Amino acid sequence: MSIALIVLAAGKGTRMQSDLPKVLHKIAHAPMLWYAMRAGSVLEPEHSIVVAGHGADLVEASAKDFDPEAQVVLQTEQLGTAHAVAQAKPALDGFEGDALVLYGDTPFIRQETLEAMAEARAQNDVVVLGFEAADPGRYGRLVTDGEELMRIVEFKDASPQERNITLCNSGVIAAKSDVLFDLIDAVENNNASGEYYLTDIVAIARSRGLSASVVRCDEAETLGVNSRAELATAESLFQTRARAELVENGVSLLAPDSVYLSWDTVIGRDAEVEQNVVFGPDVTVESGARIRAFSHLEGAHVSRGAVVGPYARLRPGAELAEDTHVGNFVEIKNAQLHQGAKANHLTYIGDAEIGEKTNIGAGTITCNYDGVFKHKTTIGKQAFIGSNTMLVAPVTIGNDAMTASGSVVTSDVPDGAMALARAKQVNKEGFATKLFAMLRAKKAKKQAQND
């Protein structure tokens, strides 16, 4: 059965105290909206529809960054969840598959949970995702009769007996698309909030002889984010889960609580990550690599056997081949280091290609930017770049070539050649002694004037 995702993302999020739409606040470097869209993608939806409201242009841009085929529809008035879902109806005109309603501010619904809902939908007209709450609070309650779901009652409208129910509503609902919108058309707003509740469709479905059931999930999956404090809690929950998953899959984290991961971080088994390492978006670390303490990686690929850090920074476009070394206070940006290449100390390599087994000396800088354009530095195999070399791009250093320490290299260096590009040293006898004497006398005179 084909499926359509409907992701509700129209809320302003007043408690966030932000001009940014609530669903665009980030967890582990990704907007919350993307988590719902990613979870739903496991079902291979035929349509992905995002219902936007506040900051709709920003929400649309973000949705399409994740999925260029996503459709964004507008909810101009905030009249409740049923009203929000109804805005997707024109976009699904003629669609005969199932519809699944998700929430852009509920980022932790697992893909396996949505698969279970899809399976349950094959046996029931309406399927609701529920959870047993440790503290039900103001959640909507699921009223059941055995395995059958009879209705959902909002806390404001619940009787004292209904408020004692601990099986609570997540808001996630699946039904055949035409059935969903037909049920929504029958929803009224005669309730304590004067809103059109999506939850009312269960009782309406039952009154029409349709079946309804509950798929249960862990309460943590249903965590909604409505404030900065809840956003911080969600970040902490993500990091805890992601670290545990890495360890379970064979990654060594020396101090797990000090490692911060991105939502898309990939690290292979037998890799080792030391303390205080931060992963930005789009990082892959292959099996057997080692990321040493206090390093920051973003948009980088680290191959098997490579060592990064301590105190290294890999920026977008950094590509490290097998057995490369990037050491302390080395920054790599948009550059490829081939197998066995090393840059161990105090170096910047940007817009460059470094050949196999080449050694980059301490203090080397690829001068890649002329104030307008970026230029490339190419260094061949088994070259040796002396300490404190400035490579003024565009420039090519050949295979087995070398540069003398302190050189400013502005021209290509042929294979096997050594570039020596520094001013001739001149020693002026006695000049330092005279200069220091003059400066000390000047300082003493200034102090005397101030006393």
Asked if residue 3 lies in contact with residue 100, where contact means CB atoms within 8 angstroms, the answer is yes
Instruction: Report cis status (omega within 30 of 0) of the bond before 256.
Output: no
Asked if residue 405 lies in contact with residue 389, where contact means CB atoms within 8 angstroms, the answer is yes
Report residue 313 as tokens.
């920074």
Closest CA to 54 of 16, 28, 101, 106: 16
Of 296, 325, 345, 375, the catalytic one is: 345
List, as one string, the DSSP characters of 88-146.
Answer: TTGGGTT--SEEEEEETT-TT--HHHHHHHHHHHTT-SEEEEEEE-SS-TTPPEEEEET
Environment class of residue 441 by beta-carbon count within 10 Å: exposed (0-12), middle (13-18) or buried (19+)? exposed
| Exposure class string for 232-258: b at 16+ Cβ within 10 A, else e | eebbeebbeebbeebeeeebebeebeb
The letter for the amino acid at 303 is: S
* 231 sits in which H/E element: helix 228-248
345 carries an active-site annotation: yes
Contacts of 418 (CB under 8 A, 6+ apart): 401, 402, 403, 404
C-alpha–C-alpha distance, residues 24 and 277, integer Å: 25
Positions annotated as catalytic residues are 345
